[in-house]
């Protein structure tokens, strides 16, 4: 049996009415819990794309979503890789066009993404005990601007449950973090690996 509920009071809208803006992320310090700068995919819907979509559509989708990273998903909803704005807007597409002799509009996400076998992730258990400074150091040492967080304990199947972003951390710290030799994208890391 359904319990009866009282309807709520309403008011008529008059005059000037504004719309609320999302709350700004909490300001943090290097000693704040790392979870405060993680995009938690258990709460927020991940920005995902298919590997067979064109790179141009992926770029448009990033702009619409206001993100710089997309998780690339297979048809079975498993992770295929990751693609960043730098992968799309950097040198990698030009090299690909020259090598393959194709048009820019023909490049697919799968052509530019960093595939699963080249990705690393930080275990969620590590994140739960880490500080923002640990994440900055980890990103700096790995030469990356993004880090994935993996949870393989909760449901017994590994799943990406979070993302750390260098620019998001800078926003929440309220300062520019010196990058040293941080690669600008997974493509730069891939180029370094191929060259060595």
pLDDT, mean of residues 3-17: 89
CA Rg value for the chain? 20
Rounded-to-integer distance, Cα 11 and Cα 65, Å: 33
Residue 179, token pair as written in the block: 């990058």
Rounded-to-integer distance, Cα 164 and Cα 130, Å: 13
> What is the structure's pLDDT at 184?
47
pLDDT digits (tens, 9 = 90+) for 56-94: 999 999 999 999 999 999 999 999 999 999 899 999 999
Higher pLDDT, 39 or 193: 39
pLDDT, mean of residues 47-62: 97
What burial class does residue 35 get, using C-beta atoms within 10 Å of its C-beta: 0-12 exposed, 13-18 middle, 19+ buried?
middle
- Right CATH for 34-195 from 3.30.200.20, 3.40.50.300, 3.90.110.10, 3.10.580.10: 3.10.580.10
Domain parsing of the chain, residue ranges: 34-195
> What is the structure's pLDDT at 103?
93
Query: What values do phi and psi take at 38, rounded to 5?
Result: -90, 135
Higher pLDDT, 24 or 160: 160
> What is the structure's pLDDT at 190?
53
> What percent of the chain lies above the pLDDT cut of 70?
90
What is the residue-averaged pLDDT of the chain?
89
Q: What is the DSSP letter of 152?
A: -
**Other CB atoms closer than 10 Å to residue 194's CB: what's the count?**
7
> What is the structure's pLDDT at 188?
52
Confidence of residue 21 (pLDDT cuts 50, 70, 90): confident
Among 7-21, 89-103, 173-187, name the one with the lowest average pLDDT.
173-187
pLDDT at 194 over 70: no
Continuous H helices in 33-175 = 55-65, 85-89, 92-100, 109-112, 124-128, 132-142, 166-173
Higher pLDDT, 62 or 23: 62
Decide if 142 contacts 120 (C-beta within 8 A).
yes
Rounded-to-integer distance, Cα 123 and Cα 121, Å: 6
Rounded-to-integer distance, Cα 110 and Cα 196, Å: 23
Sheet of 69-73: strand order equals: 48-49, 69-73, 79-84, 114-115
pLDDT at 182 over 60: no
Higher pLDDT, 143 or 64: 64
């Amino acid at each position: 049996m359904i319990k009866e509920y009282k309807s709520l009071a309403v008011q008529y809208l008059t005059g000037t009415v504004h719309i609320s803006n999302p709350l700004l992320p909490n300001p943090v310090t290097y000693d704040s819990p790392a979870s405060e700068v993680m995009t938690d995919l258990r709460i927020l819907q991940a920005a995902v794309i298919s590997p067979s979509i064109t790179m141009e559509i992926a770029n448009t989708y990033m702009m619409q979503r206001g993100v710089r990273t997309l998780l690339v998903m297979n048809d079975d909803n498993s992770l295929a890789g990751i693609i960043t704005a730098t992968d799309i807007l950097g040198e990698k597409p030009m090299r690909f066009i020259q090598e393959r002799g194709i048009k820019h509009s023909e490049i697919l996400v799968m052509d530019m993404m960093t595939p699963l076998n080249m990705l690393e992730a930080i275990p969620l258990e590590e994140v739960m005990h880490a500080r923002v400074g640990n994440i900055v150091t980890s990103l700096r040492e790995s030469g990356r601007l993004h880090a994935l967080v993996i949870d393989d304990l909760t449901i017994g199947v590994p799943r990406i449950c979070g993302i750390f972003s260098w620019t998001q951390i800078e926003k929440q710290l309220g300062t520019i973090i010196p990058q040293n030799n941080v690669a600008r994208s997974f493509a730069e890391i891939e180029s370094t690996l191929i060259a060595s």
